[in-house]
Every structure is written in C-alpha cells, then in structure tokens.
C-alpha cells in the first residue's frame, strides 16, 4: 500500500546534505548535552518533586525518579541508535518514515506537533506564573487579567514565546549560546539548593522511607486512569506500588531529551555527538532529580511539602526566604530554556515534513544568512504565543505526556524493524541487547500511558483522527515520494 511506502535512509541523508533546504552544521556534543539539560530540567525539579512525595511515594519519591529515568533511558538508547544512523532533522518522524512507512511517519510527526507545541505553551504559562511571583517579591503586582494562571490574556507568556522565536530565527549557534547561559544560571540555583539544603536535613523526615501503602478511591468516569477502566486496578499510593504511581506522575519531568535528536542535521559529527548528547543529558538530569528530591524530603516531612512550589516553600519553612527568591529566579531561567528548545524541536520536525511535501514545501525555506528554517519557526512561534495567551491549558497538559510516550513506543519498535530490514547500515552506536531493550522500553512506556486518564486518551484519539484527515486530504497526494517517484522501499 502506498501509505506504507518508506523513504530510504540514503535519500533522507541526501536531502540533508544539499539543496536550498540544507541546514548549517555547527553543534557539538557539549551543545547537544546542554540542550538536553536545558529542556529536561524545568517544571519537574521545581514542582513535581513535592507533588509526587506528598501524594504518592513519600521520601521514596527518589526511587520514582529512578524508575521514570530507567523507562526514559531504555527509549534513549533506541533514539541514540537511530539518531546516529539517520542524522537528519525530524527525529521520530524521520525514523518512522525509514522503517514503518509514510502514513505512520505522518502520524508520529503530527503527534510530535502536539507534544512540543502544546508543551511549549504549557511551560510558557508556567513561566508567566513564576515571573508574577518573583515581581511580587519586589512589590510589583501585575494585573491578574494579564498574567498568571487566571489571566484572560496571558501577556508575559506570549511575549516570552515571541522573544524566543526571534532567538531561534537568528541562528542555531546563537540559540545554543543563549541556552548555555540560561542553563548555567539554572544549574547554579539547583546546586545551591542541594548544598544549602543539606544543612537543614533531618534524618527523622526520612522515616518511614517507604510509607505503608493504601488503596485510594479512584476517580470515576472519564477522569479515571485507563488501567482502572480496563482491568479494574484501583490506584495505590505509597508502598512499592506508590513508587511506580509516582513514576508515572514525575515522567513529565523527563520530557524533552528526545528533542536533542531533532537537531541531528545541525550537528557537526552526528554519529558520535548525538548519542553522547542524548544519553549524558538524561543521566545528568536523573542524578539531579534524585539528589534534589532526597534533600527536599529531608528538609521537610513529605506530608507537609507544598505541591505548588516545594523547593521554595521548604526553604521558607526553615527560615531562609532569600533562597526561595533565588529558586524563583532559577525557575524562570529553567522554564525559558524549556520553551525555547521545545519550539526548536517542533520547527525541525515540521521542517522535515515540509521538505517531504507532506506539508507546504514553501514553509521549509531556509534563511540565506542564518541558515535556519525561519518561516516555519515564525509560524510555530505565533501559534504557540496564541495558545499560551488565550487558552487555559492545565486541563489538557497531560496530552503532552501521552504524545511523548507514543513517540517513544514507535521509535523503540522501529529500531527492531530497521535491524532486520537494513542490517548492513553503518551504526556508530548500537542499542544493546536488541530486541530486549526496545521491548522493555515499549512495555515501560505503555504502562505509563495506561496510568493516564481516559479523557486524555480520547483527546489524543481525536487529534490523531484530525491528523489522518489532513494527511489524506493534503499530504498523501502531494508527497515528494509519490510525485517524483524517488527511490522508496515498499513494506
């Protein structure tokens, strides 16, 4: 079937190396690692630590971060093999096109659009809240209708998105330098939290490390987790199962390491640098999450932790409000890099789709001076700014989780397929123990997906149906492979 035609790896690489749609290769392994840390360390470390500790895992929230990190690590190994084998913009979209076929590739690209654009808008709204809180500490009160969670028009969120759009258009190296500066500030704040917090840790707060488990009354109807609806599994908090429940919750903290793969086409030595950037950034962030969570639950008993600003409130509780202000600064810089890198990833995925004619090819035009896909970047910036400014996003933020997990599942399966269909391809990095590692990655991601509410699954299904309609109404007939008859492999 033509909808399952695949684009050869060689053709994808050829597209990346020449023509008017060629991007500039300037990024190093260090740049990619900093990109990864910049997008991973954000909302999770400043917020989710308290939520998961207080509601599901207790002091064992550190183990929840380890479990979620392992699930992401399995997927990261699969991403690393693909990114080094097919060093082309588009990430999971490009990988799926080379293995499963055009329509599945379109679906995963459409899914990544949901993950990154919606994720950037959600984080931009959170950035506005941090800014409002920080300014309030200095006696500056922004109108509630123009900033914060209850804003009618969230002006700061829209402005930060538009400002970062300008940075992205101005060049990938400038973006990398800006990101490195923001990450340095953010990391300094995180390390300060760890070092300063150690002076206020009390051993009694770790007792019991794994609180006794108990079943809680599950949410009913569309708000119920899918695993509860399908199998009658009642939600369990605390205990060993509470650790895994917490892992599903803190998974949002890891979203973004896959964005590193979208910069493959702008990496100087992608076969070497991409695996380093993906794996090292994930490992560093996992260690940070575990250490910070151990410090926070040691400073304040888990039952007393704040669910909105656990780090800042923990320092207020021990009489150190000035550190709380510094943490707010860290939160602002942290969320700034997350918004920028999610938009960077989104632009590269859509750039690849436009270059394949599945979306208007004119949007894939590269700026003659900056060598960035400026048209698609501007479109993404404007749409994301509108989403952040006008739409209350809290209710649909879980769509970001399901979109990311779906992408992880597809990439893990695709590794097995490409090993069988193209065993002769040079692979500078090979996922170990194939097919065991990809299968474990799929199982881990599916389990986390099952813990999401039914309403999230329904919204995701609606988004996929809309994507299928767009593909068959536009992309299928205009596909570059379909029109030009370029070499493809039929599944």
DSSP 233: P
Specify the pLDDT at position 353. Answer: 93
Taking CA atoms, 483 is separated from 21, 83, 200, 358, 478, in Å, by 18, 27, 66, 11, 6
Cβ neighbours of residue 54 closer than 8 Å, sequence gap 6 or more = 302, 303, 304, 305, 307
- Domain residues for the domain of 209 are 27-478
Residue 437: inside a domain: yes
* Omega of the bond leading into 410 within 30 degrees of 0 (cis): no
The full DSSP string for 160-228 is HHHHHHHHHHT-HHHHHHHHHHHHHHHHHHHHHHHHHHHTT--GGGGSSSSPPPEE-PPPPGGGSBHHH
Name the β-bridge partners of 27. 267
Specify the pLDDT at position 394. Answer: 57
Mean pLDDT for all residues in the chain: 86
Residue with tokens 């082309």: 88
Type and span of the H or E element at 237: strand 236-237
Cα Dmax for the chain? 69
Q: Residue 491: pLDDT band by 50, 70, 90 thresholds? A: very low
Q: Residue 295: pLDDT band by 50, 70, 90 thresholds? A: very high
Specify the pLDDT at position 391. Answer: 75
The angle subtended at Cα 376 by Cα 373 and Cα 380, nearest 5°, is 130
Find the range with the poorest average confidence among 130-134, 337-341, 485-489.
485-489
Residue 46: inside a domain: yes
Q: Residue 395: pLDDT band by 50, 70, 90 thresholds? A: low
Task: Look at residue 20 and give its three-state secondary structure.
Answer: coil
Residue 216: inside a domain: yes
Per-residue model confidence as pLDDT tens digits over 83-95: 888 888 888 899 8
Which segment, 14-23, 237-246, 294-303, 362-371, is predicted with the most confidence on average? Answer: 294-303
Find the range with the poorest average confidence among 131-135, 207-211, 416-420, 439-443.
131-135
Tally the domains of the chain: 1
Residues 241 and 213 sit within 8 Å (Cβ to Cβ): yes
Distance in angstroms (rounded) separating the CA atoms of residues 327 and 414: 41
Q: Residue 349: pLDDT band by 50, 70, 90 thresholds? A: very high
More confident residue, 144 or 465: 465
DSSP 5: E
Residues 335 and 182 sit within 8 Å (Cβ to Cβ): no
For residue 410, which of 111, 8, 113, 40 has the smallest C-alpha distance?
111
What is the value of pTM for the model shown? Answer: 0.86
**Which region holds residue 148: left if phi is over 0, alpha if psi is between -120 and 50, else beta?**
left
Residues 155 and 74 sit within 8 Å (Cβ to Cβ): no
Q: Is the pLDDT of residue 488 over 60?
A: no
Across the range 108-116, mean pLDDT stands at 87
Per-residue model confidence as pLDDT tens digits over 465-480: 999 999 999 989 888 8
First to last CA, the chain: 8
More confident residue, 458 or 329: 458
The angle subtended at Cα 269 by Cα 86 and Cα 284, nearest 5°, is 90
Distance in angstroms (rounded) separating the CA atoms of residues 155 and 385: 9
Residue 8: inside a domain: no
Residue with tokens 């917090």: 197
Residue 488: inside a domain: no
Residues 57 and 248 sit within 8 Å (Cβ to Cβ): no
Whichever domain contains 470, its CATH number is 1.20.1740.10
Residue 491: inside a domain: no
Residue 187: inside a domain: yes
Residues 429 and 275 sit within 8 Å (Cβ to Cβ): yes
Residue 322: inside a domain: yes
């Amino acid at each position: 079937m033509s909808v399952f035609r695949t684009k050869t790896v060689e053709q994808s690489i050829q597209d990346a190396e020449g023509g008017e749609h060629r991007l500039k290769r300037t990024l190093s392994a260090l740049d990619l690692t900093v990109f990864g840390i910049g997008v991973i360390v954000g909302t999770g470390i400043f917020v989710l630590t308290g939520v998961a500790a207080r509601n599901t895992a207790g002091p064992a929230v550190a183990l929840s971060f380890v479990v979620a990190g392992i699930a992401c690590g399995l997927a990261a190994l699969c991403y690393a093999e693909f990114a080094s084998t097919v060093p082309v913009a588009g990430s999971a979209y490009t990988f799926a096109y080379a293995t499963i076929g055009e329509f599945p590739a379109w679906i995963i690209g459409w899914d990544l659009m949901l993950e990154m654009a919606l994720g950037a808008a959600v984080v931009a709204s959170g950035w506005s809240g941090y800014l409002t809180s920080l300014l309030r500490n200095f006696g500056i009160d922004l109108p509630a209708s123009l900033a914060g969670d209850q804003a009618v028009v969230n002006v700061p969120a829209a402005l930060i998105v538009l400002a970062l759009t300008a940075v992205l258009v101005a060049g990938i190296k400038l973006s990398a330098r800006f990101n490195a500066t923001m990450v340095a500030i953010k990391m300094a704040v995180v390390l300060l939290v760890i070092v300063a917090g150690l002076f206020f840790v009390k051993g009694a707060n770790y007792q019991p490390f794994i609180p006794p488990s108990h079943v809680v009354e599950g949410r009913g109807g569309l708000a119920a987790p899918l695993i509860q609806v399908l199998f009658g599994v009642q939600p369990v908090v605390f205990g060993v199962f509470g650790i895994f429940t917490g892992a599903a919750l803190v998974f949002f903290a890891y979203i973004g390491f896959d964005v590193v793969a979208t910069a493959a086409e702008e990496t100087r030595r992608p076969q070497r640098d991409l695996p380093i950037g993906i794996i090292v950034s994930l490992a560093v962030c996992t260690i940070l999450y575990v250490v910070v969570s151990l410090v926070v639950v040691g400073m304040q008993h888990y039952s007393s932790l704040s669910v909105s600003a656990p780090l800042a409130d923990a320092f207020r509780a021990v009489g150190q409000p000035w550190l709380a202000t510094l943490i707010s600064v860290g939160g602002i810089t942290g969320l700034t890099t997350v918004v920028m890198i999610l938009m960077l990833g989104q632009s590269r995925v859509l750039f690849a789709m436009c270059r394949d004619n599945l979306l208007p090819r004119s949007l894939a035009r590269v700026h003659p001076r900056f060598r960035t896909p400026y048209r698609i970047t501007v479109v993404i910036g404007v749409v994301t700014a509108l989403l952040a400014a006008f739409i209350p996003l809290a209710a649909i933020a879980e769509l970001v989780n399901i979109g990311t997990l779906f992408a992880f599942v597809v990439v893990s399966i695709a590794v097995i397929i490409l090993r069988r269909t193209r065993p002769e391809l040079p692979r500078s990095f090979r996922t170990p123990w194939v097919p065991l590692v990809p299968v474990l990655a799929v199982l881990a991601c599916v389990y986390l997906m099952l813990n999401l509410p039914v309403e999230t699954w329904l919204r995701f299904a609606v988004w996929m149906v809309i994507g299928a309609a767009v593909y068959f109404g536009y992309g299928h007939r205009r596909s570059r492979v379909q029109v030009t008859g370029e070499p493809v492999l039929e599944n």
